[in-house]
Amino acid sequence: MKILIHISRLIVSLTFIFSGFVKLVDPLGSTYKFQEYFGADVLNLEFLIPYALPFSIILILAEIMLGVMLLVGYLPKLTVWSLLGIILVFLFLTWYSAYYNKVTDCGCFGDAVKLSSWGTFYKNIVLIAFIAILVIGVKEIKPLFNISVAKWSSFLSFFLFLYIIYYVLVHLPLIDFRPYAIGKNIPDGMEYVGDIEPPIHDFYLESSDGEDLTTSILQGDKVMLVVAYNLSVSDKEGFSNIKVVTDKAIDNGYLVYALSSSLNEEFSEIKNTYNLNFDMLFGDETMLKTIIRSNPGVITLQNGTVMGKWSWVDVSKLDFK
C-alpha cells in the first residue's frame, strides 16, 4: 500500500505542477478560457466575465501550489482534501463541456497539450482514483526532507509564482506554446495534413472596404502588425510607444497595419489622437488574442514567419538594424 501511495503522490503532484506551470507562464490564456466558460452559451454566468483574470490567477496558484505542497510533503491533510475538492470541480466542468459539447478544449494544460473534452474528463477520473488513494493513506505522506524545508520551499515557491504571473502580465508569456510563436510560419500552420484541422484555421485579414489582404500580408518581406483585439479595453497609453516604433518601422520600409475586431470608427479616434501613420485591418477576436497576449502588442513577419513579438511596454527594445 505504501508503494501505491508514493506512486500516486508522484503522479498527482507532477500532473498538477505541470498543469499549473503551463498556465502560469500564460495566465491570460486561462483568463480567456474562463470568459468562454462564463459565457451565455456555456454556464450563463456573464456577470463573472469581468473577474475572469482574478479567477484565473487564483486557480493557477492553487493548482501549482497544491502540486508543490504534495511533492514536498507540506500540510498533507489539507493538501489532499483540497486536491480532491478541486478535481471534483474540474470533473463536473469537463463532463458538462463534453456532454453538452460546450467547450471543445478545457485548457487544463494550457496551449501546451490539447485534449478532447471526453479525453479530459477521463483524465480527471484517473486523477480522482489516485487522489482517493492519497486521502486514504494521508498519514503516509511525509516531508521529503523535514518539515522546515517543506514549509519554506512552499512559501518561496508561492512568491516566485506570484512574480512570474506579474512579469508575464506586464510583458509576454515566458514560453509560447501557440502556433504564432516566434519562428513559426503562419502559412505552414494553415495547411491541412489529411483530415486533421490545422493549428491555424481562422487567420483572415480584411480592410475596411472588405478587401482580403491575408495573402499580401503573409507574402510581405517586412511586415509589422499592431494587434489590439478590442480597442475599448486596450491600454491606451500603449499607443504612445506604438507611435514611436511604427514611425521607425515605416522609415525602414515596413508595411504596417493595426489588427483589431473593433469598429473602424474606434480606431480612427485613436489614430487621430496619437497621430498614427497606418490603417486598420479587421480580424477575428479569438484569433487576435491567440497571436499575442498584449493589447496592444506588436508582431513582425517576414514572408509569413513570425520574427518577433513585443508587448507595448517593450516595443522600445525593437531594433531595426
For the chain, the 3-state helix, strand and coil shares in percent, each to the nearest 5, are 55, 10, 35
Single-letter amino acid, residue 289: K
Region 129-151: mean pLDDT is 92
Q: Name which of 92, 93, 94, 100 is nearest 41 in CA terms.
A: 100
Tell me the backbone φ, ψ of residue 275, rounded to 5 degrees: 55, 50
pLDDT tens-place string over residues 212-256: 999 999 999 999 999 999 999 999 989 999 999 999 999 999 999
d(CA 124, CA 117): 11
181 vs 90: which has the higher pLDDT? 181
pLDDT tens-place string over residues 276-301: 999 999 999 999 999 999 999 999 99
Among 75-79, 98-102, 169-173, the minimum mean pLDDT is found in 98-102
Give the model's pLDDT for residue 305: 97
Which domains occur in the chain, in start order?
2-170 (no CATH), 186-317 (3.40.30.10)
Give the model's pLDDT for residue 285: 94
Give the model's pLDDT for residue 183: 96
pLDDT band of 105, cuts 50, 70, 90: low
Region 97-102: mean pLDDT is 75
pLDDT band of 321, cuts 50, 70, 90: low
pLDDT band of 107, cuts 50, 70, 90: low
d(CA 35, CA 69): 29
User: Cell digits for 234?
Assistant: 486596450
199 alpha-carbon distance from chain centroid: 15
Residue 131: is its pLDDT beyond 80? yes
